[in-house]
Chain A
Amino acid sequence: MADLENTTDDSIIVCDDVHKWFDDFHVLKGITTAFKKGEKAVICGPSGSGKSTFIRTINRLEIHQRGRIIVDGIELSDDLRNIDRIRQEVGMVFQQFNLFPHLTVLQNVTLSPIWVKKLAKGEAESEALALLERVGIEEHAHKFPAQISGGQQQRVAIARALAMQPKIMLFDEPTSALDPEMINEVLDVMRELAASGMTMLVVTHEMGFAREVADRIIFMDEGAIVEEAAPDIFFDNPQNERTRLFISQTLQH
């Protein structure tokens, strides 16, 4: 078992024996790991392995029932203040984008800076426009989500998450709902973000992206971490039988 006192020094996320059940179904069976500041971790595994549930526990969209999660020195618990603080420090990007369809692109991005961080509208908008420029869709700022493509929507979703100036970004299968020709525009934005030093946890099936960007790859199956390693070791010399099977199946496609 990891010694929490030692790992907290340079770790921004510490998970210790995290368990989660959906009714009787044991989804997470004791996840213990830690992520360093600036680390890019890719989490992969077959569907139903609990990988999405795991990263959703990190900003408490799912509530873990046993064990501890500490994000940037704040423990995730039933403490209302801690939950608020962590949600401001952790940005999240969803598979289905989840943009707010009744708000323009710009309003989507400025929403939480204005209402949660209490920024002035003008300030929030100029910051938002800068972010939209960074993800390359400043010219669509006044359109509604339904009027732009899926790839553009996902880039807006990234900008929206970045607007809170989070220390950590979670990506829950960000390219799975996209048409193939749009996947790269989103991955490019994520590469740029990775280069800027952001701490990133990415659940994805894009193995090319994983090999190129990740510092560490975590393979999950049946609610537990089966293997974690640097990409070259993970892909070229996997230790576990299940990992080997998964890699061979994934790379065939």
Chain B
Amino acid sequence: MEERAPNPVIKPPTESKGILRWLKENLFNTWYNALFTLLAIVFLYVAFKGILTWAFTEANWGVIPANLQIFLVGAYPREEIWRVWIVIYTLGLLLGLSSGIWGGLALRLALVIGAVGGGVGIILAFFPTAFFNRFGLLGGVALLAVSLFLGRGRQRLRPWVLGGWLLSFPWTMIWLHGFAGLPTVLTSNWGGLLLTLILAAVGIVVSFPLGVLLALGRRSNLPAIKWVSTAYIETVRGVPLVTILFMAQIMVPIFLPDFRIDKILRAMLGITLFSAAYMAENVRGGLQAIPKGQHEAAHALGLNYPLTMLLIILPQALRSVIPAIVGQFISLFKDTSLVTVIGLLDLLGIAKTVIANPDWLGLQAEVYLFAAVIYFVFSYFMSYISQKIEDALGVG
């Protein structure tokens, strides 16, 4: 064979990346795009001019720092707020350890949370409030960083950290509510962002097992179980959350007259029953994607129905629906704002009370925008995570 000279390496022609060229390619490449560009510029000018003028000259932002605490925790007693910090620090510790141990997605999560927390913490440090309110968040970020380094490479901590996550939920509830000698903080005093987050967390965590059972029920080959599950799922999905929340408020005392169930618990019940139907449909999507051969192989190995589901089918099905579940968590997080309608003081409910406060009349726009920013940051952040999980699962 004839010896050939190696091909000379030819570099692609360098494209001129001048700003004019970029403008021409991205904004003025056709006559109608040029028209759109001009229209968009006019629109942006009008919108921004109006909004910025309002935000810097007319708006009264003083309402936000003056009410910051009730926005965040509602009527939670001032002298017990350290318990909220314990919960935040516990979660920070767990997140730090997890990101140190597992790296990857958990690490990315911790870094984003740390960055956002640090940024907000620095802003808070300039407000002349109590010491802990000023520096507590920065302390939490520091704890996150320290536990991240502690967790690095310590694989044998894995089961402990997983157990910690499992216990974090009851742990949170016990601290917030009070136990042993601690004074009880009634749930009616929980409010603001704290209540919003708790409602969403309870909604997802408690509805998860219910949803799995309903999904298995709907896929069952026993007609009675299948019909009952399907009827439940379709009924709940066919009516608005508001009706279910009202029903929990009005009907629970009628149906269970012997129990005193407070308003927040009834709201949690309504949210959970609502969420379970949607969770069931997500899980069902995952179950349907599992090939029949997996069931057959499990049966052929002598596994019975519960073992087949627990060991073979559910682990695969749930893994594939994680993004859908995160998506559901996001919409549940937004939907918790509906408890305002039944008179609970979640973040939006607090916003309404602040607006109604005679000291701060006429500040609807400021207060609602502030609440909107908080909701936006949380749900945008969660969709970012969901996207990352989807990417990670797609590759793995």
Chain A residues proximal to chain B, CB less than 8 Å? 59, 61, 84, 87-88, 90-92, 94, 96, 98-102, 111-112, 115-116, 157, 160-161, 164
Chain B min CB distance to A214 (Å): 22
With A116-B301, A161-B300 known as contacts, the answer to whether A111 contacts B293 (CB < 8 A) is no
CB nearest neighbor in B for A88: B302
List residues of chain A with CB within 8 A of the CB of B68: none
Chain B min CB distance to A234 (Å): 29
Contact B307 A61 (CB under 8 A): no
- 1/0 per residue, CB under 8 A from A, across B295-324: the answer is 011111111100100011001100100000
Contact B300 A115 (CB under 8 A): no
User: Out of A96, A102, A160, which one reaches B301, CB within 8 Å?
Assistant: A160
Chain B min CB distance to A174 (Å): 13
Contact A102 B304 (CB under 8 A): no
List residues of chain A with CB within 8 A of the CB of B311: 111, 115
Contact A98 B296 (CB under 8 A): yes
List residues of chain B with CB within 8 A of the CB of A91: 300
Chain B min CB distance to A137 (Å): 18
- 1/0 per residue, CB under 8 A from A, across B314-343: the answer is 011001000000000000000000000000
Cα A88 to Cα B299 in complex, Å, equals: 10
Cα A164 to Cα B315 in complex, Å, equals: 23
Cα A96 to Cα B299 in complex, Å, equals: 15
* CB of B294 within 8 Å of the partner chain: yes
User: Out of B291, B300, B316, which one reaches A59, CB within 8 Å?
Assistant: B300
User: Out of B300, B304, B312, which one reaches A61, CB within 8 Å?
Assistant: B300
Main secondary structure of the interface of B (DSSP, over half): helix
Chain B 368-387 residues near chain A, CB threshold 8 A? none
List residues of chain A with CB within 8 A of the CB of B291: 96, 98
Knowing that A94-B293, A99-B297 touch, tell me 4 more A-B residue pairs with CB under 8 angstroms. Answer: A94-B296, A96-B291, A98-B294, A116-B307
List residues of chain B with CB within 8 A of the CB of A164: 301-302
Cα A88 to Cα B315 in complex, Å, equals: 24
Chosen A-B contacts, 21 in total, with CB atoms closer than 8 Å, are: A87-B300, A90-B300, A91-B300, A94-B293, A94-B296, A94-B297, A96-B291, A99-B297, A100-B297, A100-B298, A100-B312, A100-B316, A101-B316, A102-B315, A111-B303, A115-B311, A116-B301, A157-B297, A161-B300, A164-B301, A164-B302
Contact A111 B301 (CB under 8 A): yes
Contact B300 A96 (CB under 8 A): no
List residues of chain B with CB within 8 A of the CB of A98: 291, 293-294, 296-297
Chain A min CB distance to B294 (Å): 6
Cα A96 to Cα B296 in complex, Å, equals: 11
List residues of chain B with CB within 8 A of the CB of A84: 302, 304
Cα A98 to Cα B296 in complex, Å, equals: 8
Chain B 253-304 residues near chain A, CB threshold 8 A? 291, 293-294, 296-304
Cα A99 to Cα B316 in complex, Å, equals: 12
Cα A94 to Cα B299 in complex, Å, equals: 12
Contact B301 A112 (CB under 8 A): yes
User: Out of B294, B299, B302, which one reaches A100, CB within 8 Å?
Assistant: B294
Chain B 126-155 residues near chain A, CB threshold 8 A? none
Contact B296 A115 (CB under 8 A): no
Contact B302 A102 (CB under 8 A): no
CB nearest neighbor in A for B315: A102
Q: Which 5 A-B pairs have the closest CB atoms?
A: A98-B297, A98-B293, A112-B301, A92-B300, A87-B302
Cα A91 to Cα B304 in complex, Å, equals: 15
CB nearest neighbor in A for B304: A84
List residues of chain B with CB within 8 A of the CB of A101: 316
CB nearest neighbor in A for B312: A100
List residues of chain B with CB within 8 A of the CB of A160: 301
List residues of chain B with CB within 8 A of the CB of A94: 293, 296-297, 300
Contact B299 A61 (CB under 8 A): yes
With A101-B316, A102-B315, A102-B319 known as contacts, the answer to whether A112 contacts B293 (CB < 8 A) is no
With A100-B312, A101-B316, A102-B319 known as contacts, the answer to whether A116 contacts B297 (CB < 8 A) is no
List residues of chain B with CB within 8 A of the CB of A102: 315-316, 319
Chain A min CB distance to B100 (Å): 24
With A102-B315, A102-B316, A111-B311 known as contacts, the answer to whether A96 contacts B293 (CB < 8 A) is yes
List residues of chain A with CB within 8 A of the CB of B307: 115-116
Chain B min CB distance to A198 (Å): 16
Cα A127 to Cα B262 in complex, Å, equals: 57
Contact B296 A87 (CB under 8 A): no
List residues of chain A with CB within 8 A of the CB of B312: 100
